[in-house]
């Protein structure tokens, strides 16, 4: 995927980096046979506002009271609110069929960027355009520990917007893939009786059961044993083949190498590098290795 892009532009080192930060748009016209874009980020900034930071040094209660009193009538920047500029001026274009890895050290803004793409966080500046509704792979919050695995499969599917018929059709697949029934009939027991690994597998299994146009995965593969990780990676490849786009955040470099053909590297909220997996990973490993 990324390879086809490179052919149209000559090697452009150093100085051209500014324009090259938007590598794909430039070439759309020149290469009309490219797959359609699914996510376009245009100079996106995301800012968190944190209320209730006791920056003023007053007691927590008085500070809180002050906040409530001041809230009314004042339009501008509130006091006692700290801002965290988590994503800065990030631009990229993702296309159908791409699996894009998102790397960067802790706190570099990977999760924030995914949430913004999913439309779950507002962008401060810039624009995010998406094809359909990108979804985070994370059905966890909809599941209930006191319910059986079986009921959770239904509840989770419905929460993701699947129809009842779709769920019925995929039910056996979901259970088989999760492997919770391998050691007995666990699917009919409440989820609180599962080991944390089993629960994680069932959650991934439910979350990946839906056909997503754009699937955003945030460190979901870290759990589970090695064989399950292998299976999840092949599931991601499968999802991608069903003509979607997959974004994958992982701290497992091997996992990124195995599943992604393009990598975005975020550092301090800025897009530091965007390109084929091998190149970016090489730079990234030099960066993290050099730092340690």
Partner 1 sequence: MSQLLDKPPTATAAPSGLSGPADPPSDAAPALSPADLAARHGLTVSGARPSLPAYVRQLWHRRHFITAFATAKLTAQYSQAKLGQLWQIMTPLLNAAVYYFIFGVLMNTRHGVPDYVPFLVTGVFVFTFTQQSVMAGTRAISGSLGLVRALHFPRASLPLSYCLQQLQQLLFSLCALVAILLAFGVPPAPSWLLAIPALALQFTFNAGLALVMARLGAKTPDIAQLMPFVLRTWMYASGVMWSIDTVLKDRHLPHAVTVLLEANPAAVYIDLMRFALIDSFHAGRLPDHVWAWAVGWALLAGVGGFIYFWKAEETYGRG
Ligand X SMILES: Nc1ncnc2c1ncn2[C@@H]1O[C@H](COP(=O)(O)OP(=O)(O)O)[C@@H](O)[C@H]1O
Q: Which is nearer to partner 1, 103 or 179 (CB)?
A: 103
DSSP state of 29: T
Look-up: residue for tokens 């339009």? Answer: 75
Burial 33-63 (b: 16+ CB within 10 A, else e): ebeebbbbbbebbbbeeeeeeeeeeeeeeeb
Compute the Cα dihedral for 204, 207, 213, 214 and give only its sign: negative
Cβ neighbours of residue 120 under 8 Å, at least 6 residues apart? 136
Question: Does 159 help bind partner 1 (rule: CB under 8 A)?
Answer: yes
Is residue 88 within 8 A of residue 41, CB to CB? The reply is no
Question: Does 115 help bind partner 1 (rule: CB under 8 A)?
Answer: yes
Q: Which is nearer to ligand X, 101 or 157 (CB)?
A: 101
Residues 60-119 that bind ligand X (CB under 6 A): 84, 86, 104, 106-112
Q: Considering only residues 4, 12, 65, 288, which one is a binding residue for partner 1 as defined by CB under 8 A? A: 12
Segment contacting partner 1 by CB under 8 A, of 8-16, 100-108, 175-183, 241-249: 8-16
Radius of gyration of the chain (CA): 22
Q: How far is the CB of 48 from ligand X (least distance, A)?
A: 3
Residues 199-228 that bind ligand X (CB under 6 A): none
Q: How far is the CB of 129 from partner 1 (least distance, A)?
A: 4
Residues 85-124 that bind Mg ion (CB under 5 A): 111
d(CA 57, CA 62): 10
Q: Name which of ligand X, Mg ion, partner 1, none residue 130 binds, using a CB cut-off of 5 to 8 Å depending on partner kind.
A: partner 1
Helix and strand element counts for the chain (H, E): 11, 9
Q: Which is nearer to ligand X, 30 or 84 (CB)?
A: 84
Question: Does 16 help bind partner 1 (rule: CB under 8 A)?
Answer: yes
């Amino acid at each position: 995927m990324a390879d086809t892009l490179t052919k149209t532009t000559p090697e452009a080192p150093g100085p051209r980096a500014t324009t090259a930060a938007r590598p794909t748009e430039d070439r759309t016209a020149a290469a009309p046979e490219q797959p359609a874009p699914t996510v376009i980020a245009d100079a996106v900034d995301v800012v968190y506002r944190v209320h209730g930071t006791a920056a003023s040094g007053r007691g927590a209660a008085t500070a809180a009271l002050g906040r409530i009193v001041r809230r009314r009538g004042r339009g501008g920047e509130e006091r006692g609110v700290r801002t965290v500029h988590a994503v800065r001026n990030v631009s990229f274009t993702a296309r159908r069929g791409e699996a894009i890895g998102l790397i960067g050290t802790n706190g570099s803004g990977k999760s924030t960027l995914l949430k913004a793409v999913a439309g779950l966080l507002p962008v401060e500046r810039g624009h995010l355009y998406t094809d359909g509704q990108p979804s985070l792979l994370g059905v966890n919050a909809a599941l209930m520990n006191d319910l059986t695995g079986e009921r959770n499969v239904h509840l989770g599917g419905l929460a993701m917007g699947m129809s009842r018929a779709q769920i019925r059709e995929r039910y056996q697949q979901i259970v088989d893939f999760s492997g919770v029934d391998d050691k007995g009939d666990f699917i009919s027991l409440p989820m609180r009786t599962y080991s944390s690994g089993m629960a994680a597998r069932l959650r991934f299994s439910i979350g990946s059961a839906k056909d997503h146009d754009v699937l955003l995965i945030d460190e979901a593969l870290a759990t589970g044993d090695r064989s399950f990780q292998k299976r999840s990676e092949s599931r991601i490849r499968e999802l991608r083949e069903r003509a979607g786009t997959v974004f994958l955040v992982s701290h497992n470099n091997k996992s990124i190498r195995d599943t992604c053909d393009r990598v975005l590297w975020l550092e301090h909220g800025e897009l530091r590098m965007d390109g084929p997996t091998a190149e970016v990973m090489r730079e990234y490993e030099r960066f993290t290795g050099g730092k340690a």
